[in-house]
Chain A
């Protein structure tokens, strides 16, 4: 079974802090993704990566950056956290880019910025 793990289930941070969210997958997947999930808005893609050290902006990259130094690990960084970044953050991975490719999700990190 594919396993995608996220470093924290719940996180509380202060405005202006630098925040790191970590995601690890154990199935040698090429692609990794970061989404945020908000009520009424569904899932929105922040960034994704199709290879080590490669990254692509998603729909809402502003205020975020990412790092992928190793194939199994994809980090989301909030350079200076703000209250409007309070959200559920979901990481996902997938094996390849074909049409039938399945994304596998982690359990999510609920981030609160005070």
Chain B
């Protein structure tokens, strides 16, 4: 079955540091890939997505590129802020299915 593996956290960074959160997947067919973010005390919200190989999703300074050859969708940001502290979830969705397959989440803590 489909699965998503992402790096365990917490990831602890100082403000303005570079961020990479690794995500790899196993899936049949041609899934779409997503990053969701959960701020403290809130539900999840979509951060970015990519629907086919080599697509780059971007939002709020975050980027991720759909790499089919390495089955990866790593999340990157050049300069993190304290307000980026949250839990980040990588997910995939195969066409024709309603459901998402989530990774276990990676907590990011950014200190001033």
Whether B100 lies near A97 (C-beta < 8 A) is: no
How many residues of A are in contact with the other chain, CB < 8 A?
27
CB distance from B33 to the nearest CB of A (A): 10
Partner of B44, one of A41, A90, A97: A90
B42 interface hit (Cβ, 8 Å):
yes
Whether A99 lies near B105 (C-beta < 8 A) is: no
Q: Known contacts A4-B43, A107-B43; is A58 also within 8 Å of B32 by CB? A: no
Report the tally of A-B residue pairs with Cβ distances under 8 A: 62
CB distance from A12 to the nearest CB of B (A): 17
Whether B42 lies near A107 (C-beta < 8 A) is: yes
Nearest to B29 among chain A residues (CB) is: A99
The stretch of B11-19, B68-76, B77-85, B89-97 in contact with A is B89-97
Q: Known contacts A41-B104, A43-B89, A90-B44; is A99 also within 8 Å of B30 by CB? A: yes
* Residue numbers in A under 8 Å from B34 (CB-CB): 102
Alpha-carbon gap, A108 to B104, bound state (A): 17
- Per-residue CB contact flags for chain B residues 95-110 toward chain A (1 = under 8 Å, else 0) read 1111110111100000
Alpha-carbon gap, A45 to B97, bound state (A): 13
Alpha-carbon gap, A98 to B51, bound state (A): 10
Whether B43 lies near A108 (C-beta < 8 A) is: yes
**What are 7 A-B pairs at a CB distance below 8 A?**
A42-B89, A42-B104, A94-B98, A97-B97, A99-B94, A105-B43, A107-B41
Report the 8 A-B pairs with minimum CB-CB distance, sorted nearest first: A105-B43, A42-B104, A99-B95, A99-B32, A105-B44, A43-B102, A100-B51, A107-B43
